[in-house]
Copies of this chain bind each other. A is one copy, B any other.
Amino acid sequence: TPSDRDGHSSTQSSHRLLAYSDALISIIATVMILPVAHTKIQEDEELTESLQQLISTKVAVYLMTFLIVTVAWAAHIRLFQVIEHIDDCLALLNLACMMLITFLPYTFSLMATFPENTLGILLFCTCVIVIGMIQAIIVVYGFSRPFLLNEQIQMSENPAFYKWHILKVISKVPVLCMLAVIFSFIFSPVSYVLLAIVIFLRYISLSARWCYGKATGRLEEPADSMVFYTYHPDEPLSKERVEAFSDGVYAIVATLLILDICEDNVPDPKVVQEKFSGSLVDALKEFGPEFLAYFGSFATVGLLWFVHHSLFLHVTRATHLMGLFNTFSLAFVGGLPLAYQLTHEFARNSRNELEAIQISCVIIFFAGLFQLAIWVTALFGERSALHPYVRFAGRDHAFMFAKLALYPCVALGTFVLTCVLSRFSAPIFHLMEITVPFVFLLLRLLVSAGLSLLRRLLSSIRRAMR
């Protein structure tokens, strides 16, 4: 469109660059789930303590890298809210930045595997510092060509103020990492504390501010953040980019199991000839559980995406707290395929199988619960974050609530049932997998029926009261 080229012939809209960056970052955020997935587990064997420890370490590394990458992603959003147009030079600098972000999971897992070795912490911090430097270059370059900037900053009287402000915001994390590098030579525990601050600072300050806001009754954001809407450090996240990032995570997680199936589960012709006397059907039957796991995980991830999609149709503005809950929800979604895979790797009715099924329920429960939390935050925290027709009680409101509450309720129910009827845990779980998609298809009908039932009940009570 001609608007891509307003002002300067080499200026481009940053839309596609950001979409590509979101796709890259969402893949990188979920990459550390693969080492968890491919941990070899002996069948029919109780999980030994050492193996349990190994898996929990890997899960911890996965969750931490997910958070780290989302911190980098949040910084990327902020940067490109200031710089709204790009040229070739910025596109190339951004690619360099992306490449360094892809190293974050690797260097972090080096650090986690060799905690007493300073090399891990050194590499990780170098990555973060170089990313910060490239982002600083992008800012300086952008401010030297004002037509690339956000319009509000372009028209402001004192752009240098914003330049220093955004540079200060961007340099916070690299400076902390620089300190961590220095301390790693002197007294390494301090550097780990510093890195923990880097990762959690945003979340702690966010929760603290939210609690403080609740306590003092200041529900609305300060007025100046509304004026300086798009570049202020406290500005809400870009809704589009939250959606793009979430789509990427859901897409890669949904296909995680089929990647393995396509690679490993095409039987070898020789094996089929020797072991199954040429019967391909028998050979494929062996892989039945894998396909069932794939079906279950794709359906669950797909439906959670569907709920997310419905939710964000009604959201007008994504705040930081909503972004936080979204990140947590996505981190749990990332673990889903593995949990489903585990449910089929163990012998029937073994303790491991029951545990795997219950873990799956817990993961679904939390993934769904954090989605519900996004909605609740939007409902209560920020009046401007939702469309009015879902905010106020009514049919749309009830329908949205039913959609969001379905998975947490089902997961909780399945969990309780498997505790009570532990012998039938696998059939219960599979029944749940198959039923839920149909419940979603009929949800609108069910909610309508439920509402009319409720209305009739209420009116009959009222009549009885009279």
Q: How many residues of A contact B (CB 8 A)?
A: 76
- Residues on the B chain within 8 Å of A23, using CB: 23, 247-248, 251-252
Distance to closest chain B CB from A90 (angstroms): 11
- B residues within 8 A CB of A251? 20, 23-24, 27, 248
Nearest B-chain residue to A27, judged by Cβ: B255
One of A160-168, A330-338, A422-430, A436-444 contacting the partner: A436-444
Quick check: which of A98-106, A199-207, A362-370, A410-418 contacts chain B, the rest being far away?
Answer: A98-106
Question: Per-position contact with B for A97-125: 1 when CB-CB < 8 Å, else 0?
Answer: 01100110110011001100101100000
| Residues of A in contact with B (beta carbons under 8 Å apart) | 4, 9-10, 12, 16-17, 19-20, 23-24, 27-28, 31-32, 34-35, 38, 88-89, 91-92, 95-96, 98-99, 102-103, 105-106, 109-110, 113-114, 117, 119-120, 243-244, 247-248, 250-252, 254-255, 258-259, 261-263, 265-267, 269, 272, 280-281, 284, 295, 298-299, 302-303, 305-306, 309-310, 312-313, 389, 396, 437, 440-441, 443-444
Give the CA-CA distance A246 to B207 in the complex, in Å. Answer: 39
Q: Which residues of B contact A269 (CB under 8 A)?
A: 113-114
**Complex Cα–Cα for A248 and B255 (A):** 13
- Answer whether A306 and B91 are a contact pair too, CB < 8 Å, given A120-B280, A251-B20, A298-B102: yes
| Top 7 A-B residue pairs of the complex, sorted by shortest distance between their CB atoms | A23-B251, A95-B302, A27-B255, A20-B247, A102-B258, A119-B280, A34-B263
B247 lies within 8 A of A19 (CB):
yes
Of all chain B residues, the one with the shortest Cβ separation from A309 is B16
State how many copies of this chain the complex holds: 2
In the bound complex, CA of A36 to CA of B267 (Å): 15
| Chain B nearest Cβ from A338, distance in angstroms | 14
Min CB gap A423→B, angstroms: 31
A309, B17: Cβ atoms closer than 8 Å:
yes
- Decide yes or no: A31 and B244 within 8 Å by CB, A12-B313, A263-B38, A280-B119 being known contacts: no
Residues on B with C-beta less than 8 A from A119 are 280-281, 284
Q: How far is the CB of A249 from chain B (nearest CB, A)?
A: 10
Closest-by-CB residue of B relative to A28 is: B255
Inter-chain pairs besides A16-B243, A95-B302, 17 sampled, C-beta below 8 Å: A20-B250, A20-B251, A20-B305, A23-B252, A24-B251, A27-B252, A27-B259, A34-B262, A88-B310, A92-B440, A102-B255, A106-B258, A113-B266, A114-B272, A117-B280, A119-B284, A120-B280
Residues A262 and B313 in contact in the complex (CB < 8 Å), given A99-B299, A280-B119: no
- Report yes or no: B305 in contact with A259, Cβ–Cβ below 8 A: no
